[in-house]
Structure 1
Amino acid sequence: MRRSAILFAVLSGALLLAPATHAQRVGSRLGPAPAQIPEGPGASKEDRARVAMYRYAECAVDNSRTRVELYLDTFPGSKAAHKAASSLSTDECLSSGQMTFNESLFRSGVYDVLYLKKFRKDGPVDFAAVPAIDYAAGSDAEAYGDPQPRVALRQIADCTVRKAPQESRKLILSMVASNAEGAAFAQIVPTVGGCVLEGFKLTFSKSVLRGVIGEALYRLSVGESQPTVAAKD
């Protein structure tokens, strides 16, 4: 029987080995669906950052879908990923105020947005026939920090989504930093624990967990939705 330790930390939303914040944008232009930085006494600094970046990702997908998809082809945390993400971080998607741009949070938001656009009404919940995804692809690119923890987290997320597709879907359909999200986290954590190797201690924030679950859920859903090609005689 597997035994594992999973520690949640309310962090800035980046994996512990991720680089420091790398870009700041100050926006004043009202573009299509710009990110509003949420206010209010009930929202923590971390949750405000998560909500703002989610809304920012929505705008980026709407404005630059092709460039966003090219960005997702880069390995998370790589220098190529930061360069591609920075090229998408324009004031056009920020209506007012100042927001620190975080590549990890941005990637998470993009996968959420893409999943909702394609699978909100009817998403697959059986991934048994979907071939294994190579989450290490591109990990040899120049990166900030050791890429292996990023690969391991995505493998754990893939395992979680395959074992608990309904709970994973419920998490990604919930609004960031909402009560529904909190309830969805509580439901999915036991499955995450079952996907962690014995003796492995995992520390990550809610935003990191949601990010890798969202990525795995989207990629597996796209894989399951691909038409089956009949083998030739």
Structure 2
Amino acid sequence: MEAKEVLEKVKKGEISIEDAESFFRREPFEELGYAKLDTHRKIRSGFAEVIFCSGKSDEHLLEIFKKLYQKEGEVLGTRASKDQYELIHKECQEAVYDPLSRIIKIEKKDKIRTGKIAVCTAGTADIPVAEEAAQTAEYFGSNVERIYDVGVSGLHRLLAKLEVIQKANCVIAAAGMEGAMASVLGGLVDKPVIAVPTSVGYGANMNGIAALLTMINSCANGVAVVNIDNGYGAGYMATQINRLAVKAEI
């Protein structure tokens, strides 16, 4: 249960004050030996803990996934392989997997999404990173508008979608090669642009370093940059911005 739910149950007389007190006295993490689940993260930050699946042993991943699902009623895992999904799906039939973004999740059915985030890519090859961002933002309760393959090599494609992009509370720009799209968007919108350099490109792209350097040296105002291929980080940050915008509208 979440803190608000506990307080509501006390108010309705469904649980005792002693039971509520016991809930709030729990440690802010659950000790598993090999991991410490941050069960109070949602109370502190508004976002529950997410699993980075890559590199975890099957035993550890499965136990962490089940524990978080039990406590939160939903769970999100990033950078998951198909084999990891099949392992989890055997015990958690509700789990779904997207091989493009490499996200595995169980999501609440009655989720309400608010505001709007525009997720743009320079090319089709950038879509896996963009989908990690888009699905992360959707999981955390944001509406997402996907606008793919609108890079600077055909600027008219971007301009044709500009009205839609300008209506978003935040814009995510995923681009490889030289990463110029983020600067272009920064000069066309009055909302924050989160630039995501991708590792897409030929040799001198240096696995995304060229795009990263372009983005952090952008002359456009309002452009912030996350790490190479870090779609999750972009989706998380965009949701924080979107939440602030939605609160300001109320």
TM-score band, normalised by shorter chain: under 0.3
TM-score by length of 1: 0.27
TM-score by length of 2: 0.26
Q: Considering only CA atoms, is the larger Rg found in Structure 1 or Structure 2?
A: 2
Which protein is richer in strand relative to its size? Answer: 2
